[in-house]
């Protein structure tokens, strides 16, 4: 589809599709906030020209200018990323610094950050790193009435909720994310895998809860039913918590073999979401 560059006095620099739909590329966050205020939030978000632009009344905002990653700040503990950057791009940039976000679900790696924030997706199978958005330290957002807001680069539990975090899960009705700061972690080269089988879900979950309470924090794990038994596959970066896991999980040890293939998928592309969320289960029981 051919988009024609036009000079729209109401929207600024933009392109127009044959259907009349317009694609606006804001120069900066202030320009995006002004556009949201003028349009009362009646815009659609994209990264690059959309495949289906819609009719003449459609106004798209191209967030491609907000796709940068870096720098790593706060002594290597946080990375700044534009909201249009994908999770995979952020992880690739951190890998060059010897850092990681932790395992990212495979279906999430090519998704821009702003789409994940709009849905409020959190789940990932990592007791060590927590849910995906647990590493969200700060948000900068353009508000639908115009203006910008941002939160401080600090763990949420230290400050409580703020206005910028209100965009999470709001489907862009409360604002459009422009940039975020995400927790970065040192990337450990050593890896270990474990596989343990149980006669059913009850003993498997009981063993998992005991291991978590004792401090075992696998980088990744998943539980899966195989016939009449339940198998726990786990992967570790380094050896932290490994002895506790071995001592407390019990069950029938399967060795590293069954966990190796999905584990390699985690440390490259990531494995799909896990079964029961044992971290939440422990928090509810404590």
pLDDT at res. 285:
44
> pLDDT digits over 36-59, tens only?
877 765 788 889 888 888 888 888
Sign of CA dihedral 248, 250, 254, 259: negative
Using alpha carbons, list the distances in angstroms from residue 231 to 127, 150, 193, 221, 261.
17, 44, 13, 10, 14
In the chain, the percentage of residues whose pLDDT exceeds 90 is: 5
Rounded average pLDDT over 136-144: 83
Distance separating alpha carbons of residues 177 and 148, to the nearest angstrom = 10
Residue 195: C-alpha distances to residues 177, 224, 260 (Å) = 40, 11, 9
Mean pLDDT of 96-111: 82
Please state, in angstroms and as integers, the Cα–Cα distance from residue 209 to each residue in 39, 120, 204, following that order.
50, 26, 9
**Which tens digits make up the pLDDT trace of 163-205?**
556 667 667 666 788 888 888 887 776 677 888 889 999 999 8
Using CA atoms, how far residue 219 sits from 86, 140, 232, 240, 270, in Å, is 21, 29, 13, 10, 11
Q: Which residue has the higher pLDDT, 231 or 187?
A: 231
β-strands 69-73, 78-82 pairing = antiparallel
Question: Higher model confidence: residue 58 or residue 236?
Answer: 58
Residue 235 CB neighbour total at 10 angstroms: 27
Residue 199: the pLDDT is: 92
Residue whose pair of structure tokens reads 């679900």 in the numeric block: 105
CA distance linking residue 182 with residue 154, whole number of Å: 10
Instruction: Say how many C-beta atoms besides its own lie within 10 A of residue 4's C-beta.
Output: 9
């Amino acid at each position: 589809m051919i988009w024609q560059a036009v000079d729209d006095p109401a929207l600024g620099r933009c392109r127009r599709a044959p259907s009349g739909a317009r694609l606006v590329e804001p120069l900066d966050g202030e320009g995006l906030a002004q556009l949201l205020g003028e349009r009362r939030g009646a815009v659609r978000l994209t990264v690059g020209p959309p495949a289906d632009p819609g009719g003449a009344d459609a106004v798209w905002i191209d967030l491609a200018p907000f796709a940068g990653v870096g720098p790593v700040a706060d002594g290597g503990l946080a990375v700044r990323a534009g909201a249009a950057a994908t999770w995979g791009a952020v992880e690739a940039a951190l890998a060059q610094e010897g850092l990681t976000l932790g395992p990212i679900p495979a279906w999430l790696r090519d998704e821009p950050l702003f789409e994940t924030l709009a849905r409020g997706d959190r789940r990932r199978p990592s007791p060590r790193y927590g849910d995906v958005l647990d590493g969200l330290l700060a948000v900068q957002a353009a508000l639908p009435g115009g203006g910008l807001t941002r939160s401080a680069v600090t763990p949420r539990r230290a400050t409580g909720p703020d206005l910028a975090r209100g965009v999470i899960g709001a489907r862009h009705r409360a604002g459009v994310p422009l940039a975020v700061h995400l927790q970065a972690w040192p990337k450990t080269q050593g890896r270990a895998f474990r596989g343990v089988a149980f006669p059913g879900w009850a003993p498997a979950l009981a063993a998992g809860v005991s291991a978590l309470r004792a401090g075992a924090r696998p980088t990744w794990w998943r539980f899966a039913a195989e016939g009449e038994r339940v198998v726990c596959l786990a992967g570790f970066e380094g050896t932290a918590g490994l002895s506790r896991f071995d001592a407390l999980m019990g069950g029938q040890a399967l060795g590293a073999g069954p966990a190796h293939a999905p584990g390699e998928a985690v440390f490259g592309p990531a494995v799909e979401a896990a079964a029961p969320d044992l971290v939440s289960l422990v928090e509810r029981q404590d």
